[in-house]
Amino acid sequence: MKPLHIVLAVTLTVFWGLNFVLIRIGLDHYPPILFAVLRFLVAGLPVLLVKPPKVPFPQLIAISLALFVGQFGFLFPGMTAGYPPGLASLTLQVQGFFTVILATMVLGERPKPRNIIGLIIAFAGLALIATTVGSNGVTLTGLALILAAALSWATGNVLLRGAGKVDMFALTAWISAIAVLPLAILSLVFEGINADWAAIAAPTWAGIGAIAYVSIPTTVIGYWIWAELFKHYPAAMVAPFSLLTPITGALSAWLLLGERFGSLRLGGMALILAGLVVNTVPWGEWSGRREKAQ
């Protein structure tokens, strides 16, 4: 990957890591699916200024349903049903492995050996971090919903890859706007108009700030970067970058919530970084260049 794209990918994981702290704040003020509605209502506002991307509308709908409706329609209720934000940021990253599997099955992409080795190393890091997370506050329903969110995200990644080289800012805006209606229907069905109206009628600065953060840096800017990376690189190279999100999420929890970390979690972070280096650095190409130079 080009150095600029690596920097953008790492910056994105900072946005997404802090995102889980802000999600937890938002869920204290809004029903979970309504919170997703408000997120994409704000994130979709650029459709008033940009034309639809050159993607068939049914394909746009499919991307929106998987990447936004499915992912956050499961993630937010999952966290509300019993799944702490730090653990959610960790568990959701299994989407990286789901993405590689789906891309192999659907797109016929063949991961290189370094992609597979990098994923194994990073997965070991995730497993090590997982051993430090307590079971308090975790429910089976919450776990099932988080895993469903991860699978939806992976499906959206593959669909993005199939969209080709299009205007990714416009694509992000339009799939955000498309997500509003189905999420609003789900909110009315599962949460009820009374609960939704009570939350909307009593806004708080904390709730508004949470919506602003998860809408603009995380969605509009974040998914724009994410989609750009998938436009230029295979899924097996891009998806593992999301494994950095638990690290930035943990750092956010430390800085904002005073959470402490032990040696096992720090070791897991180091393994994730090592896995990303193996996955993204073209060692064979560099070796070949050195031989030619000699």
Which residues are within 8 A (CB) of 93 and not within 5 positions of it... i.e. 6 or more apart? Answer: 126, 150, 242, 243, 245, 246
**Taken in order 254, 239, 3, 16, is the CA torsion positive or negative?**
negative
Question: Has residue 293 been placed in a domain?
Answer: no
The domain tally of the chain equals: 1
**Taken in order 110, 116, 119, 124, is the CA torsion positive or negative?**
positive
Mean pLDDT of 101-120: 79
Q: How confident is the model at residue 277 (pLDDT cuts 50, 70, 90)?
A: confident
Q: How confident is the model at residue 61 (pLDDT cuts 50, 70, 90)?
A: very high
Q: How confident is the model at residue 132 (pLDDT cuts 50, 70, 90)?
A: low
**CA nearest 107: which of 154, 60, 149?**
154
- Higher-confidence residue: 279 or 15? 15
Decide: 175 and 67 in contact? Cβ < 8 Å.
yes
Decide: 103 and 109 in contact? Cβ < 8 Å.
yes
% of the chain surpassing 90 pLDDT: 30
pLDDT at position 121: 85
pLDDT at position 291: 46
Is the confidence at residue 289, as pLDDT, over 50? no
- Higher-confidence residue: 196 or 257? 196
Question: Has residue 288 been placed in a domain?
Answer: no
pLDDT winner (highest mean) among 78-82, 247-251, 254-258:
78-82
Mean pLDDT of 93-99: 77
Question: Has residue 112 been placed in a domain?
Answer: yes
pLDDT at position 222: 84
pLDDT winner (highest mean) among 25-34, 106-115, 211-220:
25-34
Measured in residues, the chain has a length of 294
- Rounded to the nearest integer, the mean pLDDT of the chain is 82
Q: How confident is the model at residue 293 (pLDDT cuts 50, 70, 90)?
A: very low
Rounded alpha-carbon distances, angstroms, from residue 3 to 8, 204, 228, 243: 9, 41, 14, 18
Mean pLDDT of 142-168: 84
Alpha-carbon gap, residue 185 to 10, rounded angstroms:
35
Mean pLDDT of 55-66: 92
Amino acid present at 75: L
- Higher-confidence residue: 149 or 160? 149
Question: Has residue 294 been placed in a domain?
Answer: no
User: Phi then psi for 234, rounded to 5 degrees?
Assistant: -65, 155
**CA nearest 282: which of 234, 243, 246, 242?**
234
% of the chain surpassing 70 pLDDT: 88
Is the confidence at residue 148, as pLDDT, over 80? yes
How many CA atoms within 13 Å lie on the side-chain side of 266?
5
Q: How confident is the model at residue 224 (pLDDT cuts 50, 70, 90)?
A: confident
Residue 144 exposed, middle or buried by CB count within 10 Å (0-12, 13-18, 19+): middle
pLDDT at position 135: 56
Question: Has residue 55 been placed in a domain?
Answer: yes
How many CA atoms within 13 Å lie on the side-chain side of 133?
20
Residue 148: give the domain boundaries.
3-282
pLDDT at position 12: 86
Radius of gyration of the chain (CA): 19
Is the confidence at residue 97, as pLDDT, over 90? no
pLDDT at position 196: 93
Mean pLDDT of 31-59: 92
